[in-house]
Amino acid sequence: MHANWKTWAHVTKLDPDKHLPPGAVEEIVTSGTDALMLSGTLNVTQENLRELLDMVSAYGLPLVVEPASPDCAIFDGEVDHLFVPSVMNTSDARWIIGKHYAWLRNSGSINWDIVVPEAYIVLNPASAVGRVTGADCTLAKEDVAAFVGVADRYFRFPIVYIEYSGTYGDPDIVRAASDAIEHAILYYGGGIRSAEQAAEMGSIADTIVVGNAVYEDGIDVLRATVRAVQ
């Protein structure tokens, strides 16, 4: 399978539960972003996910579906990759292996060629993903480094994702994650709304993810975050 995803510097995360004005899709796909990730924690259904896929699939940009539940793990032809999260810093096993067990137990066939496991470290307790997974977000740098080691060296996840969804994170924490990584690709996402922030996190992580800014700040901000890392 093609592993081009390892070279992406900038990913735009689109939420099937949110509305884009006419023309926005065209502007987003031509912004220079390397790929689109379709994802959200709350209110994502097969219906709104497929509707968004239909809106974005004609443009040739790589498409990733990142399901927050097994029913949204879809393998439609236009989907290039299925990035499947596990949360490292929760004590609720559902979000580490439970949903995954249910997925394999209940689904017919899984196209493993496109599945890429992600080790999430969730650090904003107020985010939907923080609340839903009950993640312990009170981590020191040393704790983050240890979770990164568990994910990268022990479980050998190909992606480690430092997730501050909704708020801009602590660069020292992301640096601690980067220092602790040997093989995995390091993703950073959360609160990026300017070229400066994109450049700062982009100089530490391999790949930055921009989500809310697309909906709340518009295309010029998205373009500025792309230019800052490419």
Ligand X SMILES: O=P(O)(O)OC[C@@H](O)CO
Q: Amino acid identity, residue 185? A: I
Which of ligand GRG, ligand X, none does 178 bind, CB closer than 5 to 8 A by kind? none
Cβ–Cβ contacts within 10 Å for residue 53, how many? 20
Strand, coil or helix: what is 119?
Answer: strand
Residue 225 tokens read as 């975050």
Measured in degrees and rounded to the nearest 5, phi and psi for residue 35 equal -165, 160
Q: Answer yes or no whether residue 166 interacts with ligand X by CB under 6 A.
A: yes
41 is in an annotated binding site: yes
159 is in an annotated binding site: no
Q: Answer yes or no whether residue 75 interacts with ligand GRG by CB under 6 A.
A: no
163 is in an annotated binding site: yes
Q: Answer yes or no whether residue 130 interacts with ligand X by CB under 6 A.
A: no
Residue 171 tokens read as 């660069």
Tell me how far, at minimum, the Cβ of 130 lies from ligand X, in Å: 11
Looking only at the bridges linking them, the beta strands covering 159-163 and 207-210 are: unpaired
> What residues from 114 to 133 belong to the interface with ligand GRG (CB under 6 A)?
120, 127-129, 133
Strand, coil or helix: what is 131?
Answer: helix
Q: Which stretch binds ligand GRG (CB under 6 A): 64-72, 149-157, 180-188, 193-201?
A: 64-72
Distance CA 178, CA 204 (A): 7
| Sign of the Cα pseudo-torsion (22, 25, 28, 32, in order) | negative
166 is in an annotated binding site: yes
Cβ–Cβ contacts within 10 Å for residue 122, how many? 28
Residue with smaller CB distance to ligand X, 192 or 226: 192
- Residue from 16, 35, 38, 67 binding ligand GRG (CB under 6 A): 67
Residue 2 tokens read as 């093609």
Q: Answer yes or no whether residue 207 interacts with ligand X by CB under 6 A.
A: no
- Residue from 34, 136, 152, 163 binding ligand GRG (CB under 6 A): 163
Q: Answer yes or no whether residue 174 interacts with ligand GRG by CB under 6 A.
A: no
Cβ–Cβ contacts within 10 Å for residue 22, how many? 6
Q: Answer yes or no whether residue 36 interacts with ligand X by CB under 6 A.
A: no
Site for ligand GRG, rule CB under 6 A: 15, 39-42, 66-70, 73, 84-87, 95, 99-100, 103, 120, 127-129, 133, 163, 165
